[in-house]
Amino acid sequence: MTEFRFMKSSYSGGKDAQECVEVARNIPGLIAVRDSKAPDGPLIRVAPGAWEDFVQGTVTADEER
């Protein structure tokens, strides 16, 4: 099985005290999300369409502020 290759957001700043998630998009048909402070912890796995809807929703909410 292919391993997830997680990437941290460039907005995270890389500091340990910050809350951040990491996202893996290297496996076709699957997006995996994990807490950057707990890389061996649980994963959230979603379909790419669901992930795009989530991202679009956060962008829209941010623009409304």
pTM for this one? Answer: 0.76
Helix, strand, coil abundance in the chain, percent, nearest 5:
30, 25, 45
Note the Cα 40 to chain centre separation in Å: 15
pLDDT tens digits, 36-61: 888 899 999 999 999 999 988 887 76
Average pLDDT along the chain: 84
- CA-based nearest residue to 38, from 19, 24, 51, 57: 19
State the average pLDDT over residues 12-24. Answer: 73
pLDDT in the model for residue 16 = 60
Is the pLDDT reported for residue 21 higher than 90?
no
- Between CA 36 and CA 28 the distance in angstroms is 22
- Comparing 59 with 6, which gets the higher pLDDT? 6
